[in-house]
Structure 1
Amino acid sequence: MSDKPLDLEAEYNNRAAVPNHPVVMARWKADAEAARAAHPPVALPYGSGEREVMDLFEAGPDAPIAVFIHGGYWQALDRSWFSWVAPALLRHGVSLAVPSYDLCPHVRLGRIVSQTRDAVELIRAQTGKRPFVFGHSAGGHLAACMLSEGRASAAVAISGLFDLEPLVPTSLNDALRLDAREAAALSPVHWPVPNGSTPGGTVLDCIVGAGETSEFVRQSKDMADFWGGKGVETRFEALPGLNHFTVLDPLADPGSALVKRIVALAKG
């Protein structure tokens, strides 16, 4: 076993780890524009800020609503990049809400958690039910936060970040400006574990690409093991052949196991 220290910069810098990520992201953008043309969303403000808006893709008046929280290390992207997630869910009778949120360094990460809370609570107020939430990367972190707080019926975190402390010494922290104390306080692995005695859901799926860095695989497995050991119904799955960007590919396929799992949890 090597005593060589882990290169946290290499482990967490996904764009550097996947050199062809611009190709995948260009596909996201093109597919998102096509989805918006085919299924024009309703813009749903959840706050007064310019980015405090959700796109709502409606499957029907009584359809369950899933909330997808985008990634980008809390410092990039917005809801318009991920409209392509909607068509597969609409095929199964599930509506989709995709919120934007303010980005670091313009706001602190705690503010983004608060904005996500406001978005999820608006859906809950409109439907009278806690929504199912799922998210990618930074969005996986935020989805787990919502589950911990009892605001979600269930959550799927795709390539999620649950322990933020390893980010502190990396260049990714230039925008986040986390110190060790704040990183620990905002890490859902340290948050209350949802259980049957508290409101909300107790199901967390931790999905990751098998081709991701060892740290991303570890984070998902450790989170599933830790919460699972405390009574949460957790699943860990590493999807073969997929990296941090292509791990989202199954969301475009109405017949994929991941979409079917999301639909089942959203309708649960």
Structure 2
Amino acid sequence: MTGKSDGIDLESEYNNRARVPDHPAVMQRWRETAAAARAARPPLEIAYGPGPREVMDLFEAAPDAPVAVFLHGGYWQALDKGWFSGLAPALAAHGVSLAIPSYDLCPTVRLGVILRQVRSAVETVRERTGVRPVVFGHSAGGHMAACMLSEGRASAAVAISGVFDLRPLIPTSLNTALDLDEREASALSPIFWPVPNGSTPGGTVLDCLVGADESPEFLRQSKTMAGHWAANGVEARYEALPGLNHFTVLDPLFDTDSGLVRRIAALAVKSGA
């Protein structure tokens, strides 16, 4: 794999672990905050399917509190729900519960299977609460959050550093596990999916956020997705968060007073109203 296309070094643009040398230290903070959150308020584990990874953690802020769903990243081939428990306290401070599903990983399953699992997880939350939840996600999770909004399964989506067109991943090392070809990459790219509108069940709010210090391709992906959906009637916005890279872009989610936490909380409360 050359990882190059039209003069763009796609390997460098999309291989975030190589791009951010200190990512292990950031990820270690995720682990530490997750352990502290689980110790302070152990979650309820809910199965949404028959497989060992088809489970989610639910951190309840209060009985009948609105619920947001977080979809983790890792390019559909790494991590699980246990890394991100530390996101729960900030939302709980605003009276919002947090559900964090795990899902199977590539290459054990194909990306389409992961999307089906995420659908089941989101639908399980909906059945439990009676409303479509706000779905937010990071990287691969940003991709899947947009997919859930397109399908009418979410009341709103906040996509953080999402990949909405998967075709640039094909010539990179990231595709070793994904095994995408042009047809499958296009079919699974929400940039090509139906844009939700007033007649679509679910919501029509999409936030595409990205770290301002991320690669030009990640900036382009979020800006293009927000622009395309906004031009087709969605309340979509794009924002590059100053001083943040692909890993530190999650930092605001640990801060009770951050604009990002307040935004997600407000969307969750609105969905449950």
Task: State how many pairs are aligned.
Answer: 266
Please point out which of 101, 107, 110 is paired with 1:108.
110
Residue number among 33, 39, 42 corresponding to 2:41 in the alignment: 39
> Could you tell me which of 63, 66, 69 is aligned with 1:67?
69
- Secondary structure in structure 1 of the residue aligned to 2:219: helix
Identity %, equivalent residues:
73
Displacement after TM superposition at 1:33 (Å): 0.3
- Matching residue's letter, 1:14: N
Please show how residues 184-223 of structure 1 align to structure 2 within 5 Å.
184-223=186-225
Counterpart residue identity of residue 106, structure 2: C
Q: What's the CA shift string for 1:179-234, capped at 9, x where partnerless? A: 00000000000000000011000000000000000000000000000000000000
Local SS of the residue matching 1:43: strand
- 1:4 Cα offset (Å): 7.2
Structure 2's unaligned 5+ residue stretches are none
1:136 aligns to what?
138
Give RMSD over aligned pairs: 0.9
Q: 1:81 aligns with which of 76, 80, 83?
A: 83
Q: Which amino acid aligns with 1:81?
A: W
Aligned partners of 1:174 and 1:4: how far apart in 2?
21
CA distance in 1, matches of 2:89, 2:69: 14
Question: Within 2, Cα distance between the matches of 1:205 and 1:27?
Answer: 25
| Secondary structure of the structure 2 residue equivalent to 1:259 | helix
Equivalent residue, structure 1, for 2:165: 163
Deviations 1:106-146 (A, max 9, x none): 00000000000000000111111001100000000000000
* Separation in 2, partners of 1:152, 1:62: 18
1:12 aligns with 14
Alpha-carbon distance, 1:5 to partner: 0.4
CA distance in 2, matches of 1:144, 1:163: 11
SS of 2:65's equivalent in the other structure is coil
CA distance in 2, matches of 1:216, 1:120: 26
Query: Aligned partners of 1:215 and 1:46: how far apart in 2?
Result: 34
Q: Does residue 250 of structure 2 align to residue 244 of structure 1?
A: no
**1:78 positional shift:** 0.1
Among candidates 26, 44, 55, match of residue 28 of structure 2 = 26
Q: Tell me what 1:99 maps to.
A: 101
Residue-by-residue CA offset, 1:241-261 (whole Å, 9 max, x unaligned):
000000000000000000000
SS at match of 1:83: helix
Q: Secondary structure at the match of 1:97?
A: strand
Q: Is 1:58 the equivalent of 2:32?
A: no
What amino acid does structure 1 have at the position aligned with 2:46?
Answer: L
Question: Could you tell me how far 1:53 is from its partner in structure 2?
Answer: 0.3
Paired with 1:84 and 1:159, the residues of 2 have a C-alpha distance of 19
Structure-1 separation of matches of 2:228 and 2:159: 15
Structure 1 segments of 4+ aligned residues over 3 angstroms from their partners = none
Q: Secondary structure at the match of 2:69?
A: strand
Partner SS state of residue 8, structure 2: coil
Q: TM-score with structure 1 length normalisation?
A: 0.98
Equivalent-residue separation in structure 1 for 2:93 and 2:243 (angstroms): 26
Structure 1 position 60, deviation (Å): 1.1
Q: How far, CA to CA, are the matches of 1:57 and 1:4 in structure 2?
A: 46
Counterpart of 1:267 in 2: which secondary structure? helix
